[in-house]
Structure 1
Amino acid sequence: MERMQIRRSSGRRLSGRGLTVVSLLALSAAALTGCASGKATGDGAGQATATAAGGSTSGTKSNGKASIYVIGGKADDPFWSAIKRGGEDAAKLVKAGGGSVTFLGPQNYDNLGPDAAKLTLTALSQNPSAIVVPDWVPENQDAAIKQAVAKGVRVFVYNAGGVEAAKRTGGIKYIGSDDYEAGKAGGVKFAESGAKNILCVNTVPGAANSEVRCKGIADGAKSKGAKAKQLPLPSSNFGNPSAVTQAIKGALLKDSDVDALVTIGVQDADSAASAIDQAKAGDKVKLGTFDLSDSQLTRIKSGKQLFAIDQQPYLQGFYSVSMANQYLSYGVLPPQNPLLTGPLLVTADNVDAAIAGTKAGVR
């Protein structure tokens, strides 16, 4: 999310062959999915998607059974599907103990900050034991997160916000990647591959994680003598491949100096690949993206894409739910904060291992 706008207040398995480690993967938590479908509505947040694993979704705090709520992205966002898969696998142990895990997400990213805050309050109204939540837009979300903490709910911040968000809001841990370091790694890779003028395409401008990704790209490029700038697009374009393609194509035709493109997510990367083809710039413009998908790996293997930066969303979902359950059940808590799941840089050198991970359904 592996996605979000402040002005509008909107918003994968290590191989023995060794993926390029940009940040070391921190230690794992105990394994824990079976789930049944349900629905919840976040007031004003659009209809949320919700899935409960195990027993009742309310009152579990008082009877000693863990009730964990996970706030995530859109149900049809492939990145969040990987996070949910990890969370569902971890939920097996929660269910075995008589507890439950419920997943909530917005219908779109047009008003992500307020929507995520309302979903947090929706979860809080169910008397949960713990809430797992990204801090995408702090100015909108922090008050809701602090309200949960003040009521004694254990909060784990994951995916976005970093350890600073956990400390600021009273969260117990941060689980996820370091978006700034991930961006720096991408910027360095571009520059070392000959790129001089990089364009960071941001379809959710203002969101904390996407902004810091583009900043990392710029700083990494600068450290190697290259430069980068951002192409901010309306968050309503997210999930609209045609609109993103045309915007990127227009930018390439307007500025012939651009020789590298990086996108904040895989859907935008597919649009960027189309834009490069339509602008007939395939022999000049290198492509990179944050996150993984089959199409990214196929292009990397064929030489049409330079890299993908993997934050391992499966592990974010798995570790977050596992850690919350272990802490609620036994007071067990890894000392590392943040608990990093990446980033890892996937290139032609290690793409086969990443492809194996996608076939297993965990990347």
Structure 2
Amino acid sequence: MKISANLLKVATAVLAITFAGPTMAGAAKIAIIGGRTDDPFFAIVKRGIDDAAKIVESRGGTVNYLALQTYDNIGSDAAALIRTAVSQGSTGIAAPNWVPDAEDPAFKAATDAGIPIMVYNSGGTDKAKELGAINYVGTEDYVAGLAAGEYLGTNKVKNVICVNTVPGAANLEARCKGISDGVTKAGFKSTQLPLPASSFGDATAVSEAIKATLAKDTTIDGVVTMGNQDASSAALAIAQANAQDRVKLGTFNTDQASLDRIKQGTQMFAVDQQGYLQGFLAVFLLESYATYGMKSPTMPILTGPAVVDAKNVDATLAGVAAGVR
């Protein structure tokens, strides 16, 4: 709570200095598309969105969070939510660009309607520029994957599987590609383990798939999952396969369970993309642009990646306790 309160205080102070009185032509209606409400990572993103919404609401505006219900058809469903935001008369729309082929036409429909857009969490700088977005807030997923792969390679992890529970999602495919390139650079190898999108959130399905893969190939000595929820499933699979001595576990995103495993030595690392900042900054910057014409001079605004391991895990724990990491 302390971290989010401080960010809110700083942002409010900046606005108070910059704008002495109400100058906006009309109250902003910000729509932000995001992941499922039971997705642990997007729960952190939503915390940032909610804190930024307090600033928007203090200026007479509104923030509407439009959540995916499933990840089975992530691209088409996200596109439908973007179009819903357009039809609702939003004055600014922020959304991840998970599946560009499906979502790009919806983003274009927004810009054609004169609505400024922000790409966040997934898509990257080049795609944001192509779509005419005011900025990109998040990590470059390939760069994040590469950082994980190089970390694994440096630590002599030689045969890595990248567990992807939403195959086809551009951000997750880019992470797995980065892991593969980073590991290959060190002279080792990595392959992707794609699971049906319906397995997302199904801890048993993910655990059983990883356990079966480890039993089939006993040379595998590294498992990387795309989110902290799947990391818990992977940890269980590794334990049930009696492979703790040979298999190193890594994941993207952080939570209490992952950090506890890092401290205990049963998880090697986590790559933090700081989802709280993604949600907060996407809303705050988009509304500031829509209301006051403020635009950041830098693009992109990167929130990661940061590798958390045994050396720096203690510094991350306060953020997890506050619900922002």
> How far apart, in 1, do the equivalents of 2:112 and 2:9 lie?
26
Partner of 2:237: 275
Partner of 1:31: 11
Are 1:169 and 2:131 matched, yes or no? yes
Q: Which of 223, 227, 231 is matched with 1:261 structurally?
A: 223
How much does 1:31 deviate?
2.5
How much does 1:329 deviate?
2.3
- Secondary structure at the aligned position of 2:71 is classed as coil
Partner of 1:226: 188
Give the structure with the higher percent helix: 2
> How far apart, in 2, do the equivalents of 1:266 and 1:29 lie?
29
Partner of 2:39: 77
> How far apart, in 1, do the equivalents of 2:52 and 2:229 lie?
27
Tell me if structure 2 keeps the 8 A contact 1:184–1:216. Answer: yes
> How far apart, in 2, do the equivalents of 1:293 and 1:125 lie?
36
Q: How does 1:303-322 map to 2 (within 5 A)?
A: 303-322=265-284
Q: Point out which structure has higher relative CO (alpha carbons under 8 A, 6+ apart).
A: 1
Q: Which of 193, 200, 212 is matched with 2:155 structurally?
A: 193
Q: How does 1:1-363 map to 2 (within 5 A)?
A: 31=11, 64-363=26-325
How much does 1:168 deviate?
2.1
Q: How many residues align?
A: 310
> How far apart, in 2, do the equivalents of 1:87 and 1:136 lie?
19
- Secondary structure at the aligned position of 2:11 is classed as coil
Read off the aligned partner of 1:31 and give its amino acid letter.
Answer: A
Tell me if structure 2 keeps the 8 A contact 1:201–1:261. Answer: yes
> How far apart, in 2, do the equivalents of 1:157 and 1:118 lie?
16
1:308-343 alpha-carbon deviations (Å, 9 max, x no partner): 000000000011111012112222211111110101
Tell me if structure 1 keeps the 8 A contact 2:288–2:294. Answer: yes
- Secondary structure at the aligned position of 1:175 is classed as strand
Runs of 4+ in 1 over 2 A off after TM superposition: 27-32
> How far apart, in 1, do the equivalents of 2:10 and 2:318 lie?
23
After TM superposition, the score normalised by the length of structure 1 is 0.83
Read off the aligned partner of 2:11 and give its amino acid letter.
Answer: A
1:165-215 alpha-carbon deviations (Å, 9 max, x no partner): 212222111110111111111111112222111110111111100000000
> How far apart, in 2, do the equivalents of 1:333 and 1:350 lie?
34
1:82-104 alpha-carbon deviations (Å, 9 max, x no partner): 11110111111110110000001
> How far apart, in 2, do the equivalents of 1:320 and 1:197 lie?
37
Tell me if structure 2 keeps the 8 A contact 1:176–1:342. Answer: yes
Q: Structure 1 stretches of 5 or more lacking a match?
A: 1-12, 15-26, 33-61
> How far apart, in 1, do the equivalents of 2:273 and 2:244 lie?
27
Work out the percentage of aligned pairs sharing the same amino acid.
52
Read off the aligned partner of 1:177 and give its amino acid letter.
Answer: T
- Secondary structure at the aligned position of 2:183 is classed as helix
> How far apart, in 2, do the equivalents of 1:104 and 1:205 lie?
22
> How far apart, in 1, do the equivalents of 2:56 and 2:234 lie?
41
Tell me if structure 2 keeps the 8 A contact 1:29–1:323. Answer: no
After TM superposition, the score normalised by the length of structure 2 is 0.92
Tell me if structure 2 keeps the 8 A contact 1:187–1:217. Answer: yes
Alpha-carbon RMSD across the aligned residues, in angstroms, is 1.8
> How far apart, in 1, do the equivalents of 2:242 and 2:255 lie?
24
Read off the aligned partner of 1:146 and give its amino acid letter.
Answer: K
> How far apart, in 1, do the equivalents of 2:105 and 2:143 lie?
27
Tell me if structure 1 keeps the 8 A contact 2:134–2:295. Answer: no
